[in-house]
Amino acid sequence: MNKNKNILLVLILNLLMSLFVIYFNPRFDILTLIGFLFINIILFVFFTKIEKKKEQALEDKINNIFSLLYSLDIDSDNYELIDDEFGKLRDEIIKIILENKRMAENAEKNKETLREYTEDIAHQIKTPLTGSLLLLDLLEDEDDNLSEEYLQRLRDNLLRLHNLSDILLKLAALDSGTIEMARDRISARDFLDELIRDVKDYFIKYNIEIPLYGEDFSFVCDEKWTYEALFNVMKNGIEAREDRHIEIHLKETNLYKSIFVEDFSEGLDSDMLEKVFRRFYKLDPNSKGYGIGLPMAKSVMERQNGELIYHKGKKSNAFELRFYN
């Protein structure tokens, strides 16, 4: 299209300038011929320079695009946007480059996270394995009176390994993104009555009571995974104080429905709150837990487009499991 316009422009200019020559020399002699030649030479040189200038500009733009292709340090905030025929192409290249940069950064971050997880898992597994091997050595050397005690401790270590493998499999299922969260509509009170009974059985030696306050409501969630999340949050709340006291509150608004697990411990500051959501981090290094409960609960809620929110008060604290309508 541009080429046709250029040809048309040359013809028009040639015609106008030819008419100008004829006007001054209408006799069509040698001077007229020289005038025509001079006009065409001028037009040829003029348009040749214009074409070279366009080619150079086009080459500069292409080189600029190539430079973008080989650059991963582009700053999109400082990039000068130019509205030309290459604008869309340049924008797409920038998007691809920035996406590649983010992928590279995420890959490096995931690599570091994997290294940390591997070290933590190895540590978690090594402790009961070492204890089990030691107990086996003791069983070979000790008399029958101590054998039963060692066997019980060995069973505890093996049970701990079994529980750890079960938790790791659940975490792997969540992280892989391959599982589909179910959409079960359930009664909050019916769900919590069963959960409270199971938690009380888990802490049966403490003979604890867990009051439930608030009006019942129905909500949509994956019942199995929400059970896992809420069980871990309640377990952490009970273990936060020696009196083992927590309360459950239900709240319903026009936007969301929430289950609050309230405990009466000193609570968590902002730095500690960030740490407890890291997998395998434990506030008490000597505790028998794995430091996975809260991170798992957070992952479960996020996979359901919900939230796990911490509220710190003067006399009590609460973790809120918020489900959006």
With beta carbons less than 8 A apart as the criterion, state whether 135 and 157 touch.
yes
Half-sphere exposure of 194 (CA within 13 A, CB side): 10
Enter the tokens of residue 175: 């992280």
Note the Cα 98 to chain centre separation in Å.
Answer: 16
Question: What is the mean pLDDT of the segment spanning 137-159?
Answer: 67
In this prediction, residue 73 has a pLDDT band, given cuts at 50, 70 and 90, of: low
Predicted local distance difference test score (pLDDT) of residue 233 = 93
Predicted local distance difference test score (pLDDT) of residue 260 = 96
Query: Quick one: what percent of the chain has pLDDT higher than 90?
Result: 23
Predicted local distance difference test score (pLDDT) of residue 12 = 67
Predicted TM-score (pTM) of this structure: 0.56
Question: For 265-301, how does the pLDDT look when each residue is reduced to its tens digit (9 = 90+)?
Answer: 888 888 888 888 777 676 766 666 667 788 889 989 9
Scored b (16 or more CB within 10 A) or e, 193-205 reads: eebbeebeeeeee
Enter the tokens of residue 1: 């299209």
Question: For 116-144, how does the pLDDT look when each residue is reduced to its tens digit (9 = 90+)?
Answer: 666 566 666 666 667 676 766 666 666 56
Question: For 26-37, how does the pLDDT look when each residue is reduced to its tens digit (9 = 90+)?
Answer: 666 666 666 666
Residue with tokens 């079994």, as numbered in its chain? 162
- What Å distances lie between residue 11 and 20, 23, 291, CA to CA? 14, 18, 83
With residue 317 as reference, give the H or E element that holds it.
Answer: strand 317-324
| Complete edge-to-edge strand list for the sheet that includes strand 212-213 | 212-213, 246-252, 256-263, 317-324, 307-312
What does the alpha-carbon distance between residue 202 and residue 235 come to, in Å, rounded to a whole number?
Answer: 9
Residue 83 pLDDT exceeds 60? no
What does the alpha-carbon distance between residue 124 and residue 111 come to, in Å, rounded to a whole number?
Answer: 20
